[in-house]
Amino acid sequence: MMKGLFLSFLLGSILFINNFSELQGRKWKGEGTTPNLESITIGRCYDYIRVVNPAVGEKNCSELWEAFRNAFINKNPCNVLPQDFELFFKLSLHAIPTGKSLFWENNQLLVNSFSSRARRYMALGDTLFGFFGDFLNWCGQENSTGKTMICITCFPTGLDYESCPTAAECENNAVDAFWRMASMTRDKISQIDIWVVDDIEGPNIDSCGHNTVKILEDRLKDLGYSVTCTDNYNFQSERCKIKPSLHRPVMFLLCLDNPDHSKCTLSSSMIDERKETLGFIYFFDCNLPFKNRVNDELRHPVQKR
């Protein structure tokens, strides 16, 4: 008797949960809020100020989280503006080395490798502001209070964990508003260098002075910036002769994933240059004990030829 009642109750609960989920549904086409968003972002904050970039000094990570969530929680997910993140931006603000800011479009992973966590340049994801939200998703949910009780691990409501709007569905979504806020300090920028990087397999879709790059150049010039543009930043042989340090790191990063591609084959002249660069490689006399070999090479390094 009790077993039958328990099974009936369990079946009813399952049907209720299923109906509840269908009622909630996926309202939007984008992914929902990242689970455990609070724990992830606060942890990232401490990681940044303690390990990644301690030079920024002390930041109140719990206060940063509150400023972040209050920008969009319990709000219409299509009615979030960059200004809603203004407090979070002010609390997370820190100095960025002059000439090191790196912005990107459609090549985030390559840019992250190239910037090397601010060692070469500082991409938006290398700042505390960007590090906080990089690769995460979030959006609010109107008319939602308390906690969701039909779950094993309950998440706070006011956030939509099922789906969030994409840029195509509404421009003023929470994620895009967050990243647009970072570009609102344009008064601190005077010079912009555009580097057009073609995919190693092609095709060459855009170039300086053409298509979307021209639109970008014109907009930046209208805003009063000094603008330069370099085509084929990763594979431009003539620029290589002038200032090779500018484009070779990008080429080498692309070639790491495509080592056998024809564009990744070094010419004899480039090999000779690499020999010059590596002129202080040591050649050990294998007949000497290890300690003597090191001392000998320190006294007599190989000379460039």
Q: How does pLDDT run across 6-24, given as a tens digit for each residue? A: 444 444 444 443 433 334 5
Give the model's pLDDT for residue 109. Answer: 79
276 within some domain: yes
1 within some domain: no
230 within some domain: yes
Share of the chain above pLDDT 70, in %: 66
Give the model's pLDDT for residue 233. Answer: 62
* 212 and 77 within one domain: no
134 within some domain: yes
* 248 and 210 within one domain: yes
| 122-141 pLDDT, tens digit each | 777 889 999 999 999 999 99
* 46 and 72 within one domain: yes
Q: Count how many domains the chain has.
A: 3
* 147 and 72 within one domain: yes
Q: Which amino acid is at 59?
A: K
What SS3 class is residue 194? Answer: strand
* 163 and 55 within one domain: yes
Sorting pLDDT into bands at 50, 70 and 90, what band is 157?
confident
89 within some domain: yes
Write down the mean pLDDT value for the chain. 75
Give the model's pLDDT for residue 266. Answer: 64
| 245-289 pLDDT, tens digit each | 446 677 788 888 788 888 787 655 554 544 443 333 333 334 444
79 within some domain: yes
Give the model's pLDDT for residue 119. Answer: 72
15 within some domain: no
C-alpha dist (Å) from residue 158 to 42, 154, 192 = 19, 13, 40
* 296 and 194 within one domain: no
Contact between 161 and 155 (Cβ < 8 Å): yes
The total number of residues written for the chain in this structure? 305
* 299 and 280 within one domain: yes
90 within some domain: yes
> Residue 242 above 80 pLDDT?
no
Domain that holds residue 238: 190-263
Instruction: Tell me the C-alpha distance between 245 and 240, whole Å.
Output: 8
Instruction: Tell me the C-alpha distance between 209 and 186, whole Å.
Output: 23
End position of a domain, from candidates 157, 187, 217:
187
* 79 and 174 within one domain: yes
* 174 and 95 within one domain: yes
End position of a domain, from candidates 168, 187, 206:
187
* 270 and 169 within one domain: no
* 197 and 176 within one domain: no
The CATH number given to whatever domain includes residue 208 is 3.40.50.720
* 93 and 50 within one domain: yes
End position of a domain, from candidates 187, 205, 226:
187
